[in-house]
Homo-oligomer: A and B are copies of this chain.
Amino acid sequence: MTDHDARTKVYVEGAHGIRVPFTEIALDDSPGTGEANPPFRVYDTSGPGSRPERGLPPLRREWIAQRDDVEAYDGRTRTLADDGRSAVRRGEASQEWQGERREPLRAKAGRRVTQMHYARRGIVTPEMEFVALREQCDVELVRSEVAAGRAIIPNNINHPETEPMIIGKRFLVKINANIGNSAVTSSIAEEVDKMSWATKWGADTVMDLSTGDDIHTTREWIVRNSPVPIGTVPIYQALEKVDGNADALTWEIYRDTVIEQCEQGVDYMTVHAGVLLRYVPLTAERVTGIVSRGGSIMAGWMLAHHEESFLYTHFDELCEIFAQYDVAFSLGDGLRPGSTADANDEAQLAELRTLSELTQRAWEHDVQVMVEGPGHIPLHLVEENVRLEQEWCHGAPFYTLGPLTTDIAPGYDHITSAIGAATIAMHGTAMLCYVTPKEHLGLPDRDDVKTGVITYKLAAHAADVAKGHPGARDRDDALSKARFEFRWNDQFNLSLDPDTARSMHDETLPAEAAKTA
């Protein structure tokens, strides 16, 4: 049986017309005994497939409408500045979105439309039911974890194309893939392709970190085609709007950028609101200072203005905005260590204490929150990071970048970080932001994206197995049984990357007969 025959997409049906996708892998009988091996189902993030210029169907539109708590409105008018200086110069974005343009939705006056809001009121949404079928768990676990803030379902009402997923330590460990253009390289088409490619291999969310031209339009194409939640760092776009001059940033420019992205459908946003003015001097003696781009933009702004960060002082306004669209906070760690030397230092931990405060403030608005974590951490200090985050931030989901466990292997930082990632996820991190081989060296290309995703899928899975997550080891056992019985095709098809496994095997033993021998 070939790869393509053996792996098919199937749907598990639930109430409200819910259809949850899985990849079903057909398996051969055991040789000798003739024992039948039942087909194996795995979590599927690839979505139903789209034509990029059209986008995906709005799967959740009815669910959202039926709650009768949102209204369509004209929305903010897009300006050329949303696409950066080149677009202003040219008088147009490089490649306008061609598919359907829907009016943006927002909460009706006085309403909150977040999954946390519903969960706290005891309401089970179709999104929660979808997630429960996907995770093969009780829907009450989903509802109660979201209500308690220990899990989030990032689902902007303006991104109805998503297949709902959940981020929380009681659920499967998730992974995020970063994509995005920069001033130096890449096109809109390439970024859309990277997003689809990342979800094909298992990315649970995708962050669009574009910093170059056509930021608005690139994001439009990505959001409209993405079956998974999209995250952004709005300060990147805000900075483009002031020609890269951080001192010129204002709360108003930032707020408008956030609203622009809320209307487009961004599901979660990284906000570095925990970088306070008084923390900046704590980084002076570091080996690598401030390495977070958002953190250093805000540190520069605060030092130039001798003022507290507008992200912090206007945080409640941000919460009010997020509550109208169900955008989740990803509270950024702007002071994360950029080297193992700086790990778990006072700057990092001071910021984490502020993220604790911000988590509670967001929850007062029923806004969903996850908390970002480092970065570069020696292996013996990894566990402390998630332990402190869980304690201080009241169980809000932790979302870490790796961490890298050594600084000496540029070119292999997907691996230095997979070591830290598996370990931190075993101890309770809910989502892992991937690191590709290009980390520190350049922007990931298509191959790097795949390598990063597969590496993080295996790290997340190693953590699921180590946590004793229900059923997590079933796939290992099915593959191991296939391996022991020399069912080569089944071994390939059950693996995270059948293409690579098959081609490596064929380099040595190409004969088809050798695959069932």
Interface residues of A (CB under 8 A from B): 184-185, 287-289, 291, 338-341, 376, 378-381, 405-412, 414-416, 418-419, 422-423, 426, 437-438, 440-443, 445, 454-455, 457-459, 461-463, 465-468, 473, 475-477, 479-481, 483-484, 491-492, 494-497, 500-501, 504-505, 507-509
Q: Which of A380, A465, A501, A504 has the most CB of B within 10 A?
A: A504
Cβ contact within 8 Å between B341 and A473: yes
Cβ contact within 8 Å between A408 and B484: no
In the complex, given contacts A410-B479, A412-B496, A419-B423, what are 10 additional A-B residue pairs having Cβ atoms less than 8 angstroms apart?
Answer: A287-B481, A338-B483, A339-B480, A341-B476, A378-B462, A406-B461, A407-B477, A410-B504, A415-B415, A416-B458
With both chains docked as a complex, state the minimum distance between the C-beta of A296 and any C-beta of chain B, in angstroms: 12
* Chain multiplicity (copies): 2
Known pairs A288-B483, A410-B491, A491-B410; A339 contacts B466 (CB<8 A): no
Q: In the complex, A289→B445 CA distance in Å?
A: 41
| Residues of B with C-beta under 8 A to A462 | 378-379, 405-406, 416, 419
Cβ contact within 8 Å between A419 and B416: no
A-B contact pairs, 21 of them (CB 8 A): A287-B481, A288-B481, A338-B483, A340-B480, A379-B423, A379-B426, A381-B466, A405-B462, A407-B476, A407-B483, A409-B457, A409-B461, A410-B501, A411-B504, A412-B454, A412-B496, A419-B462, A438-B508, A441-B505, A442-B508, A445-B507
Known pairs A379-B462, A467-B380; A441 contacts B504 (CB<8 A): yes
| Residues of B with C-beta under 8 A to A500 | 411-412
Cβ contact within 8 Å between A408 and B340: no
Q: In the complex, A380→B465 CA distance in Å?
A: 8
| Residues of B with C-beta under 8 A to A411 | 495, 497, 500-501, 504
Known pairs A380-B466, A442-B504; A477 contacts B339 (CB<8 A): yes
| Residues of B with C-beta under 8 A to A381 | 466
Q: In the complex, A125→B445 CA distance in Å?
A: 53
Q: Which of A376, A418, A476, A479 has the most CB of B within 10 A?
A: A476
6 tightest Cβ-Cβ pairs between the two chains A and B: A442-B508, A339-B480, A379-B466, A411-B500, A407-B476, A405-B462
Cβ contact within 8 Å between A480 and B338: yes
Closest to A289 in B: B484
With both chains docked as a complex, state the minimum distance between the C-beta of A89 and any C-beta of chain B, in angstroms: 24
Q: In the complex, A442→B459 CA distance in Å?
A: 23
| Residues of B with C-beta under 8 A to A459 | 415, 419
With both chains docked as a complex, state the minimum distance between the C-beta of A194 and any C-beta of chain B, in angstroms: 15
Cβ contact within 8 Å between A408 and B496: yes
Q: Which of A339, A406, A468, A475 has the most CB of B within 10 A?
A: A406
Cβ contact within 8 Å between A378 and B466: yes
Partner of A409, one of B376, B442, B497, B505: B497
